[in-house]
C-alpha cells in the first residue's frame, strides 16, 4: 500500500496524499480494474440480440443453443471459489492478468467461431477468465484502499459498474448486431483486455497470502459439484416446472455442498478457511447479499418479458428503454457512501436499500398491462436499492476478512450472488408462473396456458379476433402473475430490511465498544 513518507518524490507512489491513503496511482488503477468488471458483467447479457444471427450462421441445435447461452454462467459460478483461493496463493494481480489474457483470447475465438462447438468452447473459456477477473478485482480493491472512507467510495463505484454492466451488455449487443456481424459483440472485449495487460503490471500492486499452505485440489471438484447442480436446477424450474430431474439436481448439489463443507473443516489448508465465516459481519453480509441478488435477478425475468411481450416493444427498443433506470445507478453509490461518512449507521443504510427495493417491488405489484413508466420507475428504484446494499455489504465483508484471504472472501461473495440470482428466478418465477396458469381460462389452448411466450405463438396462428382475445387474456394473466410475485418479493425485502437493521446495528455497536 502507498506510503508517501517512505517513497522518494520521484516515485509514482509519492502522489498518494498520506500514509495509508490512496493517491492518484491507486485511483487510476481503479479505473483500469473497472474495465474487466464491466466486460464480465456485460457478457452475461451480450448474446441477447445476437442469437438470431448466430443461429442463421452456425445452425446450432436446440441443445447447443442452450449451451451457448448457459455455459459461460455455469463455468464462472463453478470456478469462483477455486479462483479466489488460487489468487490468494499465486498473487491476485498475476491471476487477474492471466484471466485477462484468457478472456481476450477466448473473445477472439468466439468472434470468428465457425461452428457451434467452437463457440461453446470459447464461451466456456470466457467463463474461466471471468471467474479469475471478478474475485481478483474485489481482492485488489481490498489491498489498494486501506483507508475505510476511500475503500467505501471505491466499492461504491465497483457496485455501480457491476449493476450497470448487465443492462449495458444487451443494448450494446443490439447496436453492434444491427450495424456489424454477430462476432463484433465479442471483439469489443479485446481493447479493454489489452489495456489491462499493458497497464496492470505498472499500476496494480501484487498481493497474496504470505503463508497460503498447499493448494487443496480435492476441494476444486467438490466445490463445482456443490455449485453447478444447484444453480442448474434452480434456473430450469421457472420455465420447466418442478420436474423430478431438477429437484434431484438440487439435492445432489446440496449433498456435495455438505461434503465440501466437511472437507474445509478437516483440510490442513482449505480452499475456503472456516475461520473466514466467523469474521464479524462476514456471514450476515453473505446472507443479505444473497437476498438482494434474489430480488434483483428475480425481478429481471419479469420486467424484460413485460417490456417485450406485454408492452409489445421490440428487443432493441426494450433494451434502450431499460437503460433509463440505469441513469440513477451512477448516483446511488456515491450517495450511499456519503450517508455512511456523515455518520448514518451502516445497518440503517442497508435497511434503507432493502426498503427501496421493497418499494420498487410495490410499484411492480400495481402494474397494469400498459404501464411503461411505472415499470421503468420500479426497475430504477430496485437498481438503486441494490447498489446501496451491495456497496455496503461488500465493504463490510471485505473489511472483516483478513487481507491475506481477500481472494477467498470475494469469491464467496460472488458465489452468494450467483446462488441468490438463481434462487430468485426459481422462487419468484414459480410464483408468477403458477398465478399465470391459474388466471388463464380452462378453454384456452393447452400451450397458451403454459407461458406467455407460448401464448404469443399460439395467438399468432389463430384467425380473426380469436388471436387478439387470447393475446389480451394472456397479457393480463402474466401481469397478474407479475403482481403476485412482486408482492412476495416486497414482503421478503421488508423482512430483510428489519433483519439488516438489527443484525448490522448490533455488529456496529459491538465494534464501538
Helix (H) or strand (E) holding 72: helix 62-90
Q: Which of 308, 439, 451, 239 has its CA nearest to residue 459?
A: 451
Contact of 103 with 126, CB cutoff 8 Å: yes
Q: What is the pLDDT of residues 461-508, one digit of tens each?
A: 887 788 788 888 888 999 999 999 999 999 999 999 998 888 887 776
Give the pTM. Answer: 0.78
Distance, in Å, from the CA atom of 477 to the CA atom of 436, rounded to the nearest integer, reads: 5
Contact of 354 with 493, CB cutoff 8 Å: yes
Q: What is the pLDDT of residues 108-161, one digit of tens each?
A: 998 898 888 898 899 889 888 888 887 788 778 777 777 777 777 777 777 667
Q: What is the pLDDT of residues 300-336, one digit of tens each?
A: 778 877 887 888 887 677 777 877 777 777 677 677 7
Per DSSP, the three-state class of 402 is coil
CA 6 → CA 117, 146, 323, 468, distances in Å? Answer: 55, 17, 46, 75
Q: Which residue has the cell 446450432?
A: 60
The CA-to-CA distance between both ends of the chain, in Å, stands at 28
Contact of 14 with 140, CB cutoff 8 Å: no
pLDDT at 412 > cutoff 90: no
Sign of the CA dihedral with 39 first, then 45, 48, and 51 last:
positive
Full DSSP string of 458-510: HHHHS-HHHHHHHHHHHHHHHHHHHHHHHHHHHHHHHHHHHHHHHHHHHHHHH
Amino acid at each position: 500500500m502507498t506510503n508517501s513518507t517512505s517513497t522518494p518524490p520521484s516515485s509514482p507512489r509519492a502522489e498518494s496524499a498520506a500514509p495509508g491513503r490512496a493517491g492518484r496511482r491507486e485511483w487510476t488503477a481503479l479505473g483500469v480494474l473497472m474495465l474487466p468488471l464491466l466486460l464480465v458483467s456485460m457478457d452475461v447479457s451480450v448474446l441477447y440480440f445476437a442469437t438470431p444471427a448466430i443461429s442463421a450462421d452456425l445452425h446450432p441445435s436446440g441443445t447447443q443453443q442452450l449451451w451457448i447461452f448457459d455455459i459461460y454462467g455455469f463455468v464462472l459460478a463453478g470456478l469462483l471459489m477455486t479462483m479466489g483461493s488460487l489468487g490468494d496463493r499465486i498473487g491476485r494481480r498475476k491471476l487477474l492478468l492471466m484471466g485477462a489474457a484468457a478472456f481476450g483470447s477466448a473473445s477472439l475465438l468466439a468472434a470468428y467461431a465457425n461452428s457451434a462447438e467452437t463457440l461453446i468452447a470459447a464461451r466456456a473459456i470466457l467463463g474461466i477468465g471471468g471467474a479469475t477477473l471478478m474475485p481478483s478485482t474485489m481482492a485488489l480493491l481490498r489491498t489498494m484502499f486501506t483507508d475505510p472512507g476511500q475503500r467505501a467510495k471505491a466499492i461504491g463505484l465497483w457496485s455501480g459498474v457491476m449493476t450497470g454492466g448487465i443492462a449495458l451488455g444487451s443494448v450494446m449487443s443490439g447496436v453492434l448486431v444491427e450495424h456489424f456481424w454477430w462476432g463484433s459483440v465479442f471483439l469489443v472485449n479485446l481493447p479493454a483486455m489489452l489495456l489491462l495487460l499493458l497497464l496492470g503490471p505498472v499500476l496494480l500492486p501484487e498481493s497474496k497470502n504470505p503463508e497460503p499452505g498447499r493448494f487443496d485440489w480435492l476441494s476444486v471438484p467438490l466445490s463445482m459439484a456443490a455449485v453447478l447442480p444447484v444453480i442448474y436446477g434452480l434456473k430450469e424450474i421457472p420455465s420447466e416446472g418442478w420436474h423430478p430431474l431438477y429437484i434431484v439436481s438440487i439435492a445432489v448439489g446440496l449433498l456435495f455442498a455438505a461434503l465440501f463443507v466437511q472437507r474445509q473443516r478437516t483440510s490442513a489448508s482449505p480452499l475456503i478457511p472456516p475461520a473466514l465465516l466467523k469474521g464479524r459481519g462476514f456471514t450476515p453480509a453473505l446472507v443479505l447479499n444473497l437476498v438482494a441478488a434474489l430480488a434483483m435477478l428475480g425481478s429481471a425475468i419479469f420486467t424484460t418479458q413485460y417490456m417485450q411481450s406485454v408492452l409489445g416493444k421490440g428487443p432493441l427498443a426494450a433494451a434502450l428503454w431499460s437503460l433509463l433506470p440505469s441513469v440513477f445507478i451512477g448516483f446511488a453509490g456515491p450517495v450511499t457512501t456519503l450517508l455512511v461518512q456523515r455518520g448514518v449507521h451502516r445497518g440503517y443504510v442497508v435497511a434503507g436499500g432493502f426498503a427501496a427495493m421493497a418499494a420498487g417491488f410495490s410499484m411492480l405489484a400495481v402494474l397494469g398491462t400498459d404501464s411503461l413508466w411505472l415499470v421503468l420507475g420500479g426497475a430504477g428504484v430496485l437498481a438503486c436499492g441494490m447498489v446501496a446494499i451491495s456497496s455496503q455489504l461488500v465493504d463490510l465483508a471485505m473489511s472483516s476478512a483478513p487481507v491475506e484471504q481477500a481472494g477467498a472472501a470475494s469469491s464467496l461473495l460472488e458465489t452468494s450472488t450467483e446462488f441468490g440470482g438463481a434462487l430468485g428466478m426459481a422462487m419468484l418465477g414459480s410464483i408468477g408462473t403458477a398465478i399465470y396458469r391459474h388466471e388463464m381460462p380452462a378453454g384456452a389452448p393447452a400451450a397458451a396456458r403454459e407461458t406467455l411466450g407460448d401464448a404469443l405463438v399460439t395467438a399468432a396462428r389463430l384467425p380473426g379476433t380469436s388471436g387478439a382475445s387470447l393475446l389480451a387474456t394472456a397479457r393480463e394473466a402474466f401481469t397478474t402473475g407479475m403482481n403476485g410475485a412482486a408482492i412476495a418479493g416486497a414482503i421478503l425485502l421488508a423482512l430483510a430490511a428489519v433483519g439488516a437493521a438489527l443484525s448490522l446495528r448490533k455488529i456496529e455497536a459491538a465494534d464501538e465498544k
